[in-house]
Every structure is written in structure tokens, then in C-alpha cells.
Chain A
């Protein structure tokens, strides 16, 4: 894909809108499908890889309308089945086509509190957009209706409006709910439970709210101001938030019920222990988990070298290991912090990469060098214990494995070195051990994830869980999906 400047995208959209004006109300499905998919306007790759500002700038109004017009409003709406929170997708898109943005955002908000977040970070191509009829008829999932970009468009539109209606909260029930972790799962539960009139307190371990939206996802992909606004909305609803509070350590989980009078608890404590490759040299100076690297940059603002007290490693040549969104985030952050070269090393091919297509495209545009079918064998240190190179091995694709993806098989004797001073390991997380360590009666599986039933209820009455602490490393929207289920269960539980 080549980079198209925003003004050209807008210009083309304007001309097309003008052309379609005459038959806007009589478009056939064939007409709709022939409207070209609208590209997301972005900052120039050679400029944005040196700043932390948001990369994707959002649709122009003309583009939003055109993209909405591409939707053929099919009756079976397969997109809704692909959405973990079941937003009425054809409904909100129709409202956009009619330029009723207020109605569009209201439809989304019936199911999702975090539209401006999900419109930015959801993996739509494997969810709502994967099954889109338009994409299917064009035989390319990347040509499906851009549901995510449209969601973002109306969410951003609402943020610019002055008079956003205050949230409606039912009268106090006298019941108290504790929420562990102020990330996407916890935020969702807080809103849904508070709406029913229950008192809600969120306990957050960090000094800032937002969880992975703040420590994990970089500013250039999700501006922190947006996350703050979502949390402010919760406060407006009367949700109490206690930061610097580690449930399990500052107060035991069971004490919250037995001593502090909470009637129900939701655990959304998120990801934990970063995984490493278990190869030679991983504890050399210059090797970081992506969690550490991103937390330094995002949560502690280490990219602002002038003002932040938290240092970040001064890297020149970086290797990032992994092919997911976190690997892309780490690679793109390293470029922005000043690395001259960033090598992304992944042992399968681009087709198997778990990262969103958009993140892969953006990373490449910004200059990240991709090494596919390669994997790290060992990290080599100098006499001072600092990283000086990474030894890699080449792979080829063999038979499909349990995941259905073709198994990468190493080519013996294919070892080669890349001279690097930094290695960032982005191959996932295990579960957070804190609540498990301090709450022996809570059932967990062998990976330490909390075991819940289909209603997100744990092995202890009144205690529910969802998000990464249940799913392992998953996505924002799946955490929100579980949050919705857990909130419904909690509301039912508190009715009895």
C-alpha cells in the first residue's frame, strides 16, 4: 500500500459524493458495492515515526458517508454475530448514511461504552468485518465495510459536541460492588452495574486508570485523553475509583466481602508475568519484555526524555520478537524514541501474524524491517553484559499444527547474526499471580487464569471475573464482552 495524503482522500471523496447525490436514495446493492473502500487518513509515515501523536486521523465527513453508503443493509447482518458486544451495526451505519450522527452513537452506546476506544483498537477484520457481505462479494476482507472506522467517526463526533447527555443512573439500591482493575473489563462492568443503582468502587493497582489502554497501547494508536474521558464518564455516574490499591495485597479479596460490606466483586486484574523465550542471554542488559518497554514509554511517559524521571534505554538497533499487536506497538515505539533501525522477527509468515493488518501496514510504512520465517536462537552479550547481537535461525512452513496454521520448521545450519543493542520480547503474558497467591479458595487453571462459568461467575459465590485474567492475553473488546456478561450476572445476583 502506498501512502495517500489526507487532502487527496478528502478531495476524491467529495467528488464521488457529488456524483452520487442524484441517486442517493435509489442506490442498488451493486451501486453500493462499487463505491471504493475509503482509506483512513494518516499522518505522513516519515513524520509520524518521529512523534507520538495519533497516526490515524479519522475519516472526513464525506468519507464516513461514502463508507456508510457501501453497507447494503443485509437482513441477516452477519457483522452483528461477529461483534463480541453485539452492536446493531447495520442500524448505526444507516444512521451515518443519513447524516444522523447522534442517532448512530446512541445505537452504539446501547451495547458499548467505549466506542472511541474500540473503533481504534478492535481487530475488526477477524470480528465484525470478517463476515461482512460486502467484503465477501469483493472476495477481500480488507474491502469489507470499515465498521471500526465508522464507529470511531461517530464516537469522535460526539466528543466534539458540547451537550452530551448525562448518564442515567437508577436510584440507589443500597448494594455495593467492588471492581478489581480499571481496564476495559472493569470499566464496562462499572458502567453496567452502576446504571442499575448499585454503589460501585473500582480498585486500581496503578496510579492511573485505564489499565492496558494506558500502560500498554501507545499514545500514537490511542490518545490517553480519550481514555481519561471514558473514566471521567464513570465518575460522573458516581463510580468511586481508588488508585494505588492492590486487591490481594493492600486488602484481601475476601476481606472486601467479609469486612468491608461489598455484596459482589468483579475481578478484571488483567495480564501478568511477561513470557520470555527461555533462550541464552535473556537477562543481559538491553533485553526487555514488551510490557516493560511499553509501560516505561506509555504509563511513565519516558518518551518525553526532558521531563519524565523514568529512563528508557537509549537504543540504536532494536530486535523485536513476536508478531502480535504488542510487537508492532513496541517496534513503532522504539522508532519514535530514536532507534535507527528496528527489526521485527517472527517465525511464521505475515499471513499468520496475529497483529491487525492495519498495524502491520503502519509499521512497515514507518520503516520497521520485517524478518519473517526467522526466530531468535540466542542473545549474545559483550564483556560488560550488554546485548551486542542476536543469533537467528531461518524457518520454513511445514504441515498445519493444532492451531490450523502451518507449523514453522527450522532449517538446520541456517544460523546468522544481527548486530543489535536492544531486544524486546513480545510473545505474550501469563496470568497475574497476585490474587491467586493471596486467595487460595479461588479456583484457577494450570496457567493461573481464574476459572469462570458461562456467566463469568468464579468458584466463590458473589465473585465474578473477566478479561485477560480469565482469557489469557486477549483483546480489549473480548474483555469488554466478558464485562457485559459479568455485569448482567452481578445485576441478577443482587436482585435476589
Chain B
């Protein structure tokens, strides 16, 4: 049982929770995630840890209400308890002084990116952050990213804020400079990570991506999270979640993410009906 001690709505469908989890707050490192399960009949879902305070004993989770469990979580309030929360899981980000690093966060991907930006910054790297979102309303963590980086580039698909472009455009420009980046970290929707990897490939810039696949146990037991990396099967929960973006088979990963689409669509529809009913109360 983990108590929700603070809840914020960051945008129309994006929420931030501070949750009591003293041991996880102490042990977690950038790049790691937790799994949670809200009830006996619930589903175990992975969520990245976007921040933690070991002294206060809490962790911060940022998530978008997209599926059944995230909708239920969005309906919970301060003081409520999350029935089951386990972590930290996954191999932490490899942090060292690479030199200059470009960190790309797309949409909700800014949440897992934030602790990595902090970690890389503390290790002495020069950090450029590219934050992308569909529109201004969906942009998150802008101020925090600004405070932790040397340069921040914001872009939106519709041009409602920052540059009107996809994140790959400024990424390409940075790669074309004389002193191209030593490392790129890209976290966001699979399609964004795929195209970021394609953008950096001709420049030979190492590119790390963080994959968010379907998981059940998260401890290397079920294999549901497996992806093809460099023609080898890897388990996201224990071998990842971070991999070399130039080796990941994103097309296969995207197909696997949709394995239960039919069921999810009907659940999603149901969630929205429930949300609307509750809105009226």
C-alpha cells in the first residue's frame, strides 16, 4: 500500500502523482521504473519514475490516462492508497561524462527523460534538451528541463508554442553542427524514437532510447516485453529499458504493442463513459 501524497494535473490527460515509497526513493536511479496494480482484478502496468526524494521518502510518477489502469489511476486522489507498487525495476541509465548530449523528449516521454537529464548534467555533460508535443497544452516539464540543461528547444506539431516542427528537425540541425553531439537520448512514442534514431544514424551519433512495452512481472520471468535488438531477442524489463536505438526493430515493437488493441479499445471506451459519469457528480 502506497499513499498518494500529492496530485497535479499537468495537461488535459497527463497527471503527476507524488507517492510514498521510501525504499524505492532511496534505491532508484535514472532510467528505472515501477510496476503498479490497483486491485485484485487489476492489470500490472509499468510507469517510469520521473523524480524521487529519498529524504521525504516519495517518488514522482507522471502518466497519461490512455488505458484502463491509467484512467483508474487518474481518478484517484490525494490520501488514496495504491494497492500494489513494486520497484525500482530495469537497468539504470549508464551515466558518465560523454561531453555534449542531446536529450529528446516527446510528449509524456519528458517524464522518464527528466531524471536522466539531471544525472547526465551532474556528471558534467553539456546538455541540449529538445522537448516536443502535439500542442502547447500537452507540453510538460518545460521549466524543470530549462533549469537542468544548457539549452532548451521546444517544438509543437501545430506551432502553438515554440517552433512548429517535429523533434527530428532540431535534432538534425544539432547533428549537422561542427561539434556534433557525443550522445543522443530520445524518449517518447515509439514512432518518434524510431525517427530520432534514423536522424542520427547517418551522423554516427550513438542514440539511446527507452522502451515502454507490455509487461506483466517486470522481473524477467514472462518475456511479454521482448523486443528485437540487433536481431537478438532482449527483455525490456531486465536487459533494458534502454537500448541502442540504431539496433532496435521499432516496427516489430510497434506491432507487438498493439497485440491487445481490440480489447484495449473497448476498455478505453468504457473508461471514458465512466469518467463522464463521474464528471457530472
Give A residues with C-beta under 8 Å from B: 205-207, 215, 243-246, 249-252, 270-274, 276, 278, 282-286, 288-289, 291-292, 295-296, 299-301, 304, 307-311, 313-314, 384-386, 429, 432-434, 437
A contact residues around B84 at 8 Å (CB):
207, 243-244
Which chain A residues lie closer than 8 Å to B55 at the CB level? Answer: none
Q: With contacts A249-B89, A309-B42 known, is A292 near B24, CB below 8 A?
A: no
Is B47 in contact with chain A by the CB < 8 A criterion?
no
- Contact B217 A251, beta carbon cutoff 8 Å: no
Q: Which residue of the partner chain B has the closest CB to A205? A: B219
Are the C-beta atoms of A276 and B87 separated by less than 8 Å?
Answer: no
Report if B273 contacts A (CB, 8 A): no
**Chain B: CB-nearest residue to A432:** B220
User: How distant is B109 from chain A, measured CB to nearest CB, in Å?
Assistant: 23
- One of B170-178, B202-210, B223-231 at the interface: B223-231
Task: Verify if B105 is at the interface (C-beta below 8 Å from A).
Answer: no
Q: How far is A309 from B68 in the complex, measured between Cα atoms in Å? A: 8
CB of B277 within 8 A of chain A? no
CB distance from B261 to the nearest CB of A (A): 10
Partner of A313, one of B216, B249, B259: B259
**Are B258 and A273 in touch, CB under 8 angstroms?**
no
Which of B85, B216, B226 makes the CB contact (< 8 A) with A295?
A: B216
Total chain B interface residues with beta-carbon distance under 8 A: 44
CA distance A437 to B240 in the complex (A): 13
Question: Given A307-B41, A309-B43, A311-B263, are A250 and B226 neighbors across the interface (CB < 8 Å)?
Answer: no
Residue B267, interface by CB 8 Å: yes
For B252-266 the 0/1 string (1 means CB < 8 A from A) is: 100110111011100
Contact (A309, B69) CB under 8 Å given A207-B84, A285-B258, A285-B259: yes
Complex CA–CA separation, A299 to B217 (angstroms):
10
Query: Are B238 and A437 in contact, CB atoms less than 8 angstroms apart?
Result: yes
Chain B positions within 8 Å of A245 at CB level: 86
Bound complex: CA A434 to CA B217 (Å): 12
- Pick from B23, B223, B235 the residue with the most CB of A within 10 Å: B223
For A251, list chain B residues within 8 Å (CB).
23, 27
Show the binding face of B for A, using Cβ within 8 Å. Answer: 23-24, 27, 37, 41-44, 68-69, 83-89, 91, 216-217, 219-224, 226-228, 233, 235, 238, 249, 251-252, 255-256, 258-260, 262-264, 267
Q: Are B256 and A285 within 8 A (Cβ)?
A: yes
Smallest CB-CB A-B distances: 10 pairs: A385-B255, A292-B222, A289-B223, A244-B86, A309-B43, A207-B84, A311-B260, A311-B263, A274-B223, A292-B224
**B contact residues around A215 at 8 Å (CB):** 217, 221
Please state if A283 and B85 are interface contacts (CB–CB under 8 Å). no
Provide 26 A-B residue pairs closer than 8 Å at the C-beta atoms, listed in order of the A residue: A205-B219, A207-B37, A207-B86, A244-B86, A246-B87, A249-B89, A272-B219, A274-B222, A283-B249, A284-B255, A288-B224, A289-B224, A291-B221, A291-B222, A291-B223, A295-B216, A295-B217, A300-B216, A304-B41, A309-B69, A310-B216, A311-B263, A314-B263, A432-B221, A434-B220, A437-B238
Chain B residues lying within 8 Å of A437, measured Cβ to Cβ, are 91, 238
Chain B residues positioned under 8 Å from A310 (CB to CB): 42-44, 216
Q: What distance in Å separates the Cβ of A248 from its nearest Cβ neighbour in chain B?
A: 9
Distance in Å from the Cβ of A267 to the closest Cβ of chain B? 14
Question: Which partner residue on chain B sits nearest A275 by CB separation?
Answer: B223
Q: List the A side residues contacting B219 at CB < 8 Å.
A: 205, 246, 272, 432, 434
> Complex formed: what's the CA distance from A302 to B255 in Å?
22
In the bound complex, what is the Cα–Cα distance between A283 and B91 (angstroms)? 22
In the complex, what distance in Å separates the CA atom of A379 from the CA atom of B241?
Answer: 26
- Check B87–A311 contact: CB distance below 8 A: no
Known: A244-B86, A309-B42. A283 touches B216 (CB 8 A): no
In the complex, what residues of A have CB within 8 A of residue B27's CB? 249-252
Name which residue of chain A comes closest to B235, CB basis. A273
Q: Are B86 and A250 in contact (CB under 8 A)?
A: yes
Query: Cα distance A273–B225 when bound, in Å?
Result: 11
Q: Distance in Å from the Cβ of A283 to the closest Cβ of chain B?
A: 5
Q: Return B68 CB to nearest CB of chain A, in Å.
A: 5
Are B43's CB and A282's CB within 8 A?
A: no
Of A271, A300, A434, the residue contacting B238 (CB under 8 A) is: A434
Enumerate chain A residues within 8 angstroms of B68, measured Cβ to Cβ: 309
